Structure 1
Amino acid sequence: MEDKMGITEYLPQKIRSEAEKYMTYGLEEIRVRAGKQVEYIFADHICRGIYIGRNDIEEMINYLSDYSFHAISQQLLAGFFTVEGGHRVGIAGQTGCGQKGITSVTDIASLNIRIARQIKGVAMPFMRHIRDGDSIYNTFIVSKPGDGKTTLLRDCIRILSDGGDGKRRLKVAVVDERSEIGACFHGVAQNDLGASSDVMDNCPKAYGMRMLLRSMSPDVIAVDELGGEDDLCAVNQIINCGIHILGTLHGRDMDDIDMKKLPGGIGRFVFIEKNKKGERQYSIYDKDCRLLHSAVWNCGNYKCMEMQEKPGNTSA
């Protein structure tokens, strides 16, 4: 697969050609640790490359930050930062702490680059279960980190915003706190989020949801990785105002969701589970925990295979 977002340009010259070779085969993550071999993570296996030193990591950070470490210093306090193209770079190193938590991150010794790719069409088989007439059910997409929540969310936004499923276009307002959904550059989304979408980039989720509610008169507000109490309070406010929510959460199954203090009015839960082969199992439940749809999608090489639907109650 072509490296359209130029992630390999951020790598030291000594591993760039190695990484470019692996991009062709559906590379998902690049893990770099000082004094250890580079790890190239795929859906179903790991390849190891050359050894990397601390100077190589410093060189990478210079590239990733466009030689402005100060520009990413606030993001680093959260343990990661996002670069052009929506690629998320996780970090580990030395931290400084104060009364209000982490105040600085220095001596970075590990990087985890999660490669962002837009996969169009992945959400289409599920839209009939998410749609409620010309609108949608309030929907949460749930999985463990790295199993594909953001990929599915992004495609749902595109389809709803374009009316790509043959139904009315919806005005979708997107809160993209980590710049992973739209991959905005100078405020313009680089990923295709459809014709009727508006993006609030690099904005805390709770603030962004409330701002977009007042400013953009949306039909749907979409947001990634909800979790904090203020996030869920804002979701409840959105629903009470008659606006529909399309969001993602970390979790495993319905039992896990039952333990979270979620707002009422959520009509659909989409669970994603990735197996050792890189296949994603998608299961859609209604508000009463009834299974509506279950399917397996194989995207090991980012070539969409035919959906194989399993028996289940398909009534809404």
Structure 2
Amino acid sequence: MEKNRVLKILPGRVREMIEKEIDTYEGLQEIKLRTGKPLLMRCGGEEYIPGRGHPYIVTAEDVRETIDYASNYSLYAYEEEMRQGFITIEGGHRVGMTGQAILEKGQVKNLKYISSVNIRISHEVQGCADQVFPFILCRRQLKHTLIISPPGCGKTTLLRDMIRQISDGNQYIKGMTVGVVDERSEIAGCYMGVAQNHLGIRTDVLDGCPKAEGMIMLIRSMAPQVIAVDEIGAREDVHAIEYAMHCGCRMLATMHGASIEELRRKPVSGKMMEEKRFERYIILEGKAKIQGIYDENGKLMEKKI
């Protein structure tokens, strides 16, 4: 991890506390600042309070400084991103915020009186998708694949490496053109329009665009062989996925969930399973650890990879 990209947006007092606590930044996942509350960090899947018994209490000034540094003192320049509650900084790291919503015609326009900041560290784990390729290909043809896990268990990390390998090509598959609809700037981690994560030489990214609209735009403009999206769930997403499949695109997507049984119970995913829209389901149980891979019928193919 290029730690300076994250540390430079933190106030000096917070930065010093973190530097005292951490020997390596590879496992750092989140830094949370809440006004009047202890500084929190998540490393290696575990949350803890730095300070060795003497926690650092975050001040309103700490939060304000962090926002100023992250936005280059111009939060309104990030108004489009702020509607979703975060901005993306160089390196693809996400700075999430909460406060009072500013509404315009019933829609969130921006935030003010920001009291909490959550810095999510972008991690690339190149090679983490190696183990799934024997299961998501048949006669060297990519299967429509859905990755399922609870939040924070690595589904975006796995998706990112699948995109990279499919785009570049590997021992299992010839390189293919991939279109990525990155609604929340989390897959590519675009900063000023440039992807900060490695997604391969044949990948085109539509950043900050709603998934359903973006999929149709990519099909019309870039002729992708594969379309990848993160965290589907709305009915309009499903309609766009069906359209993309009918156009001959192979689909890679992620969805929140904990098991194949839970997927069957949900109205949207249950209907997709009934119609066998996806041909492979990869279930993660934490830190990109695979709980099981299932076929289009929901039958277990491989467990605990």
TM-score (norm 2): 0.89
CA distances 1:217-246 after superposition (whole Å, capped 9, x unpaired): 111001111122221111110011111110
Structure with bigger helix share is 2
The aligned residue for residue 156 of structure 1 is 162
Q: State whether structure 2 residue 170 is matched by structure 1 residue 171.
A: no
Tell me, what secondary structure is at the counterpart of 1:161? helix
Tell me, what secondary structure is at the counterpart of 1:129? helix
Write the distance in 2 (CA, Å) between the matches of 1:166 and 1:155: 14
- In the TM superposition, residue 74 of structure 1 has moved relative to its aligned partner by 3.1
- In the TM superposition, residue 205 of structure 1 has moved relative to its aligned partner by 1.3
Write the distance in 2 (CA, Å) between the matches of 1:155 and 1:239: 22
Q: State whether structure 2 residue 13 is matched by structure 1 residue 14.
A: yes
- In the TM superposition, residue 89 of structure 1 has moved relative to its aligned partner by 2.1
Moved more, 44-53 or 235-244: 44-53
- In the TM superposition, residue 92 of structure 1 has moved relative to its aligned partner by 1.8
The aligned residue for residue 107 of structure 1 is 113
Runs of 4+ in 1 over 6 A off after TM superposition: none
Write the distance in 2 (CA, Å) between the matches of 1:166 and 1:51: 51
CA distances 1:150-184 after superposition (whole Å, capped 9, x unpaired): 10000000111111234211111111122221122
The aligned residue for residue 267 of structure 2 is 260
Structure 2 CA distance for partners of 1:215 and 1:96, relative to 1, 3 Å: closer
Structure 2 CA distance for partners of 1:84 and 1:245, relative to 1, 3 Å: same
Structure 2 CA distance for partners of 1:186 and 1:109, relative to 1, 3 Å: closer
Structure 2 CA distance for partners of 1:237 and 1:25, relative to 1, 3 Å: closer
Structure 2 CA distance for partners of 1:272 and 1:75, relative to 1, 3 Å: same
Letter in 2 for 1:117: H
Structure 2 CA distance for partners of 1:133 and 1:5, relative to 1, 3 Å: farther
Alignment of 1:123-272 (within 5 A): 123-258=129-264, 259-262=266-269, 263=272, 264=275, 265-272=277-284
The aligned residue for residue 300 of structure 1 is none
Structure 2 CA distance for partners of 1:133 and 1:18, relative to 1, 3 Å: farther
Tell me, what secondary structure is at the counterpart of 2:113? strand
Tell me, what secondary structure is at the counterpart of 2:73? coil
Letter in 1 for 2:268: K
The aligned residue for residue 63 of structure 1 is 69
CA distances 1:238-264 after superposition (whole Å, capped 9, x unpaired): 011111110111112122212132444
Moved more, 13-22 or 154-163: 13-22
- In the TM superposition, residue 280 of structure 1 has moved relative to its aligned partner by 2.6
The aligned residue for residue 303 of structure 1 is none
Alignment of 1:71-90 (within 5 A): 71-90=77-96
Structure 2 CA distance for partners of 1:185 and 1:94, relative to 1, 3 Å: closer
- In the TM superposition, residue 287 of structure 1 has moved relative to its aligned partner by 1.2
Structure with bigger strand share is 1
Q: 2:289 aligns with which of 266, 274, 280?
A: 280
- In the TM superposition, residue 98 of structure 1 has moved relative to its aligned partner by 5.9
TM-score (norm 1): 0.86
* Contact 1:5 1:84 (C-alpha < 8 Å) held by counterparts: no
Q: What fraction of aligned residue pairs are identical, expressed as a percent?
A: 39
Structure 2 CA distance for partners of 1:9 and 1:105, relative to 1, 3 Å: same
Tell me, what secondary structure is at the counterpart of 1:10? coil
CA RMSD of the aligned region, Å?
Answer: 2.0
- In the TM superposition, residue 48 of structure 1 has moved relative to its aligned partner by 2.6
Write the distance in 2 (CA, Å) between the matches of 1:56 and 1:244: 46
Structure 2 CA distance for partners of 1:186 and 1:69, relative to 1, 3 Å: closer
Write the distance in 1 (CA, Å) between the matches of 2:18 and 2:189: 21
* Contact 2:3 2:25 (C-alpha < 8 Å) held by counterparts: no
Write the distance in 2 (CA, Å) between the matches of 1:159 and 1:104: 37
Write the distance in 2 (CA, Å) between the matches of 1:127 and 1:281: 13
* Contact 1:144 1:250 (C-alpha < 8 Å) held by counterparts: yes
Moved more, 236-245 or 128-137: 128-137
* Contact 2:88 2:95 (C-alpha < 8 Å) held by counterparts: yes
Moved more, 109-118 or 198-207: 198-207
Write the distance in 2 (CA, Å) between the matches of 1:101 and 1:199: 26
Structure 2 CA distance for partners of 1:197 and 1:98, relative to 1, 3 Å: closer
Tell me, what secondary structure is at the counterpart of 1:256? helix
Q: Report the number of matched residues.
A: 292
Structure 2 CA distance for partners of 1:4 and 1:157, relative to 1, 3 Å: farther
- In the TM superposition, residue 279 of structure 1 has moved relative to its aligned partner by 7.4
Q: 1:289 aligns with which of 276, 294, 298?
A: 298
Letter in 1 for 2:39: V
